[in-house]
Structure 1
Amino acid sequence: MVVNATVDAAVFFLLLGAAVLGVTAADTGESAAAVDGDRPDAVGTVLATSTATVNYSLAPGARRANSEEADGVSGVRFERTAGPEFERTTHGSLAGLLARAAVGTAGFDDAPVTHARDDLRAAVRGAVASRISTVGLRVDAVWRPYPGAPVGGRVAVGDSPPDDEAVDAATLTVPTGAEPLSPRETRDFASLSGAVADRTVDVLAPAGRMRLALRDDAPVSTFARYRYARLAAELNVSVTGAVADADTRAANRRLASAFASRVESDLRARYDSPEAAAAAVSASEVRVVVRAWDAGRRGNDADATDDGRTPEGGR
């Protein structure tokens, strides 16, 4: 199952990419809350077809950036860290919002590149939890360019299933906007690694939108410079000149080149052939996995009111 995520036009420097434009899902309203929490397929349908509007703030990211600048980490400072210019509202399918939060909070070694989308992640979790019962249910939205990659993002809603429970699962995918691999990019490990690195950087910092962001007013331009500064620090490369010129394609090429050798080392260690490695690459999509176990039925039965609704409004 594939669902398209909408674009948050207000903050385009962290978008998923042009390919994710246009939500086709309709808001199912109250019926979303009525889904039985132990039916992963039904919950997956709710995530794909129900929409929500969430409000969030970029201010925590600005405050974190200034803290890092004071410690000599980022070299980027926000003149202001609060105000209406930091407030955002976005709308989309629940699956699309989960994907956006997973990508927006992605980073290296489980640490976000920036914290600009921390509040979005919390708001999306709340929106999903308000639509489905999470008793005996877990939803994970995961973006990772390949299994075991050092970079990725995850948003989870609900508790992890117990080790001794049988678990049912359903999976849907949301495109990130990164292009699928072409045959010529999978002929050898070097070509494949370069392609994966290119797409990873493009998801983390879409060149077209970052260029517009760098030319915008603060705080948008400051967030863009901060994001590039953090990526450059993670990959031990300088993109200062390219960022100053708003030459985001050049900046992204330098970042991808620095990352490619690490990707190649990983893929060679994990896979016997470029073809096998290419089959495992998933930079172009976020996987949303719904897992359910028997506690969902027991929890729903125990918590239901006389009319069949849980105290939270689910069924």
Structure 2
Amino acid sequence: MDVSLALLLISASVVLIATSMNEDSEATTPDPVAADQTAETLAATSMSVEYSIEPVTDHSEWDGENVATDFADESFRRVSQGSAAGLLAEAAVANVEVDGTRLTKEGQNFEPAVEAKVLNTFLGANQSVYVEAVWRPYPESAIEGIASAGDRPPRDTSVNTAVLRVTSDVPSVGSGAVERGYRLDGFEGAAGPIAAAVVRGLYPPTEMQLLLERQGFHRALGKYRYQRMATTIEASDAATDDFSFENAQGVYFGEATVISRNGADARAANAQLTDHLTQIIAADMDEKYDDDVTADELGSDVATGEVEIIVKTW
């Protein structure tokens, strides 16, 4: 759907929200279309953001022993380009947590860099702005990523709100796959397609295979990403045992695991992550949903492929 049309469709509800909040408030009435206009600006404004992923070295899973220090600073440097809304969505996914444990620190410097660029876009505006990007595979999911720009509005202030949805880097899951899975195997069946999409989005197999097969910085980064997910899975309340990557298939690999350089197999590593993440998601869904939830309801709730951008102005 065209972004402008989508914003027009929600503008009526935004006005109602603002009117309702103003009935019991003496605060100055905010511009009723400011949130819509801000959301439209976020979708239409292109920007470039530079940042460093060096915070990954703070995690014990980072193995920089074979990383050449002469090239370290440049290797950590990243540049992301896109719309303001798209970069906020990217930052939200980069901040993903599982059961409250942050997955990686690759996005630690990314969110503030995006925030600075976004807020600079609205310098001189007559309205205060707060933007929050939220990625959750399904409502109230134990897996979530959030990024924001600006300060939250004061509680006693009248606020206008607009909502924009943009595509995430995680593949969409068809509602039919979730519904079929639930009918066949309950929450575990529903969780399988969701876990597979999350793992594929966070660990693109072709990219991860190349990282694991290379040396120095690139290999260290690939190994770090996988080891962080292993640590995060172990920290989950739904974890039943310790997590370790399996040995690579084939006698010539010896004791090499699927994330070692000579046994590198990103697809096998992803399959193992998917199995464990399925258990976490299934346990979470069992806790969050009522016993009488229907397959159709579960299917309609899944939104792995989109990030919700909430814009507040006052």
TM normalised by structure 2 equals: 0.73
Alignment-mate amino acid for residue 235 of structure 1: I
Give secondary structure in 1 for the equivalent of 2:58. Answer: helix
The equivalent position to 2:258 in structure 1, one of 233, 239, 242, is: 242
- 1:172-211 mapped onto 2 (5 Å cutoff): 172-177=164-169, 178-187=171-180, 188=182, 189-211=187-209
The whole-number CA distance in structure 1 between the counterparts of 2:308 and 2:264 is 32
Q: Is the 8 A contact 2:64 2:217 kept in 1?
A: no
The whole-number CA distance in structure 1 between the counterparts of 2:2 and 2:68 is 39
Shift of 1:60: 2.2
TM normalised by structure 1 equals: 0.73
Structure 1 residues 117, 111: CA separation in 2 closer, same or farther (over 3 Å shift)?
same
Alignment-mate amino acid for residue 161 of structure 2: A
Shift of 1:123: 0.8
Give secondary structure in 1 for the equivalent of 2:296. Answer: helix
The whole-number CA distance in structure 1 between the counterparts of 2:54 and 2:223 is 16
Alignment-mate amino acid for residue 284 of structure 1: G
Shift of 1:253: 1.3
The equivalent position to 2:63 in structure 1, one of 69, 76, 95, is: 76
The equivalent position to 1:59 in structure 2, one of 54, 68, 79, is: 54
Match of 2:225?
Answer: 227
Q: Is the 8 A contact 1:174 1:286 kept in 2?
A: yes
Gaps (5+ residues) in structure 2?
4-30, 235-242, 247-256
Alignment-mate amino acid for residue 196 of structure 1: I
Give secondary structure in 2 for the equivalent of 1:118. Answer: coil
Structure 1 residues 137, 186: CA separation in 2 closer, same or farther (over 3 Å shift)?
same
Q: Is the 8 A contact 2:55 2:106 kept in 1?
A: yes
Shift of 1:291: 1.4
Shift of 1:110: 4.1
Structure 1 residues 37, 206: CA separation in 2 closer, same or farther (over 3 Å shift)?
farther
Structure 1 residues 270, 97: CA separation in 2 closer, same or farther (over 3 Å shift)?
same
The whole-number CA distance in structure 2 between the counterparts of 1:180 and 1:258 is 18
Give secondary structure in 1 for the equivalent of 2:259. Answer: helix
Q: Is the 8 A contact 1:107 1:152 kept in 2?
A: yes
Aligned-pair Cα RMSD in Å:
2.4
Give secondary structure in 2 for the equivalent of 1:148. Answer: coil
Fraction of identical pairs, as percent: 31
Q: Is the 8 A contact 2:140 2:288 kept in 1?
A: no
Report whether the alignment pairs 1:284 with 2:300.
Answer: no
The whole-number CA distance in structure 2 between the counterparts of 1:190 and 1:226 is 28
Give secondary structure in 2 for the equivalent of 1:145. Answer: coil
Give secondary structure in 2 for the equivalent of 1:251. Answer: helix
Q: Is the 8 A contact 1:142 1:155 kept in 2?
A: yes
Give secondary structure in 1 for the equivalent of 2:209. Answer: helix
